[in-house]
A and B are shown apart, each in its own frame.
Chain A
């Protein structure tokens, strides 16, 4: 899933400083799972913003809605009735996709309440870790299911670099060296010889090939 975390309250408050009424929109997708932008967080953020503004003597009115997902137009449409003329700004608690979908749909000042971080998973309750670099061409079969693109600090395909010691990355002693993990796993699988193949330069065109990438499934298109 996409992992996001809250922006500091003061930053969000600063983004809507001039508005008297805002629509605070949560998302029921990934950000609900990573406890950054679900219904509960939407309520908390709206309350915190109101309190802050009250203290400043500049009261704020909030309307709170949580959509099933902000990255699908059919759900974004459901916001229509809440986007009234007197709403001066929309605060989105979605990933960057949701923020953009709301901004495209409504002629309002839309601001992000979260920082979108990465594609990852829950490693323990309250801890999420990046696992995928969204590079567009999966090579996990070459590296024992451990991604060097995102888990190696230097994205080395023929690793490990000279800084790996005691299984840790030189950049951060908390970070396992991806290539130590790869080596251990390939050894356990009896496939060390595969690591001796020289991996050629990666085709990054699948990662960032000029403008937004698109996936089209003709079989499910309606038109």
Chain B
């Protein structure tokens, strides 16, 4: 065990983990986070707190992580390189660890042109892969990015990274995953999977390179609420592939929400059969309350206790 992360413990014990996601609010009231944590904590092993997702100003992921922790959940704080340079990133890592965070997901972040401050100056001092290495060096080498020794307690984070099997160039996706693992990623959360065939091909390449043995790969899923949502994901979200079959299933459904849950549960059951998949990450954007139903229907409840 490298860290005190509950997520690491469960993964290292071979449990098929379940993580969820909570989007912090666009205001300073933590009640929603607390409510969602109470709702989800028995159904997911850890919950991601997004970091100004889609470049929209929200309550900080680290602060949200504190609320999750206080409400009895295990937070995974997301951290993007879009908004902070290497000084701010490391400072926030020290601060987050001091507040009890044990998992961090290193991301580049959505481009600011998609958010509510499109005229903002972005940072991108380092990229997501370099951030992974920075977190690892702080933990394992006790060194700051400048090479200076960290005197005192080092932040011991379980390090996460993202992988998108649906972006291009496809073959390079696996190599980039390997780079992230080489840089220090302990676990990987993937982009939402709708195109299972492509994900299977991706995992075959992952296994060929033995990457599933070097990091825990957690597959992303998203319950669809409506045919409109499915179409939107298909047509307007960069780096996403949604097969026509899923869109048409949603269109034909008498109860689209139930169909969305059914598709999601089927996907989870399928993912459990793929060698190298260590868990699922349920991204129920603005629909967090459906997660318990999905977890139960997928046969993943009750969740194991970390011994």
Which residues of A are found within 8 Å of B191, using beta-carbon distances? 162
How many angstroms from the CA of A184 to the CA of B170 in the assembled complex? 12
Minimum C-beta distance from A161 to chain B (A):
5
Q: Which 4 A-B pairs have the closest CB atoms?
A: A170-B238, A162-B164, A158-B129, A163-B238
Residues of A within 8 A of B (CB): 153-167, 170-171, 177, 179-180, 183-184, 192, 195-196, 198-202, 204
Which residues of A are found within 8 Å of B166, using beta-carbon distances? 165
Q: Does B175 contact A (CB under 8 A)?
A: yes
With contacts A163-B239, A200-B130, A201-B126 taken as known, whether A184 is within 8 angstroms of B179 at the C-beta atoms is no
Q: Across the interface, do B129 and A164 meet the contact criterion of CB distance under 8 Å?
A: no
Q: Across the interface, do A161 and B108 meet the contact criterion of CB distance under 8 Å?
A: yes
Minimum C-beta distance from B121 to chain A (A):
12
Number of A-B contacts (CB under 8 A): 101
Q: Across the interface, do B162 and A162 meet the contact criterion of CB distance under 8 Å?
A: yes
Q: Across the interface, do A165 and B168 meet the contact criterion of CB distance under 8 Å?
A: yes
- Which applies to chain A's interface (DSSP): helix, strand, loop or mixed? loop
> Which A-chain residue is minimally distant from B180 (CB atoms)?
A158
Which residues of B are found within 8 Å of A163, using beta-carbon distances? 110-111, 167, 238-239
Minimum C-beta distance from A210 to chain B (A):
15
How many angstroms from the CA of A204 to the CA of B87 in the assembled complex? 13
Which residues of B are found within 8 Å of A161, using beta-carbon distances? 108, 128, 167
How many angstroms from the CA of A167 to the CA of B170 in the assembled complex? 10
Which residue among A154, A155, A159, A160 has the maximum number of chain B CB atoms within 10 Å of its CB?
A154
Which residues of A are found within 8 Å of B125, using beta-carbon distances? 201-202, 204
* 7 additional A-B residue pairs with CB within 8 Å, beyond A158-B130, A163-B167, A201-B145: A156-B127, A156-B129, A158-B129, A165-B167, A165-B239, A170-B111, A180-B169
Q: Across the interface, do B111 and A160 meet the contact criterion of CB distance under 8 Å?
A: no
Minimum C-beta distance from B52 to chain A (A):
15
